A and B are shown apart, each in its own frame.
Chain A
Amino acid sequence: AQTVTQSQPEMSVQEAETVTLSCTYDTSESNYYLFWYKQPPSRQMILVIRQEAYKQQNATENRFSVNFQKAAKSFSLKISDSQLGDTAMYFCAFMKHQLAAGNNRKLIWGLGTSLAVNP
């Protein structure tokens, strides 16, 4: 069974600084997806970044980037130039690749990291 671990329940960072959120996972699959989702106080779940395991290049989306270490099963999220609007819960999630598991795949979620960006 797959598991996702986020070992930092809460973190804080000063505005304009850089912060890294940790995520590790466990799987025997070789092909899968990893995600970081953001849930602000509005509670709308927003996709931050998506990584396909077969791609060695780390995904980036503007100020958000990941450090994907497949052998170590690590998938950390780096937020650069933190902004007040980045304050949210951040969830790391895993999903098997469709070619491996068809349509009945589901997201496996970490417990989340609550990030506070301070002015």
Chain B
Amino acid sequence: GAVVSQHPSRVICKSGTSVKIECRSLDFQATTMFWYRQFPKQSLMLMATSNEGSKATYEQGVEKDKFLINHASLTLSTLTVTSAHPEDSSFYICSARFLAGDATNEKLFFGSGTQLSVL
């Protein structure tokens, strides 16, 4: 089945540094990828929708300059947390849309997540 690879799975960084998280669709082309943030024991909060070759669409309240998203190819989207601070510590999850054939065969696959800890 379709697989989404997300790296790194865990990262610890100092306050003020930038961190890049990669999300790859391994055996399918994903024109659309989604980036989520999840706090402990809470639901997923959509941060942005990433479309290949175009600018990401950010949800209200999400800082575009803080969370840079690049979707340069059909199999790779990256999320860069710039000038990270302790409040950015969270679990980040990506998801890729798989669409084969008609619209009834659409599925969403998730990466395994990245736990970011900012000291």
Interface residues of A (CB under 8 A from B): 33, 42-47, 50, 52, 89, 91, 97-99, 103-104, 106-107, 109-112, 114
A107 lies within 8 A of B108 (CB)? yes
In the complex, A33 Cα to B34 Cα: how many Å? Answer: 17
A45 lies within 8 A of B110 (CB)? yes
A43 lies within 8 A of B49 (CB)? no
By secondary structure, the B interface counts as strand
Q: A45-B95, A104-B32 are in contact. List 4 more A-B contacts (CB 8 A).
A: A43-B112, A91-B43, A97-B103, A106-B34
In the complex, A45 Cα to B31 Cα: how many Å? Answer: 20
Q: How many A-B contacts at CB < 8 Å in the complex? A: 52
- Taking a contact as CB atoms closer than 8 A, the residue among A44, A98, A106, A112 that contacts B43 in the complex is A112
Is B104 engaged at the interface, CB distance under 8 Å to the other chain?
Answer: yes
* Minimum distance in angstroms from A115 CB to a CB of chain B: 13
- Taking a contact as CB atoms closer than 8 A, the residue among B41, B99, B106 that contacts A114 in the complex is B41
In the complex, A56 Cα to B15 Cα: how many Å? Answer: 52
* Minimum distance in angstroms from A97 CB to a CB of chain B: 7
Q: Which of B10-52 contact A (CB under 8 A)?
A: 31-32, 34, 38, 41-44, 46, 49, 51
In the complex, A73 Cα to B95 Cα: how many Å? Answer: 26
Given known A44-B110, A52-B104, contact A111–B42 (CB-CB < 8 A) = yes
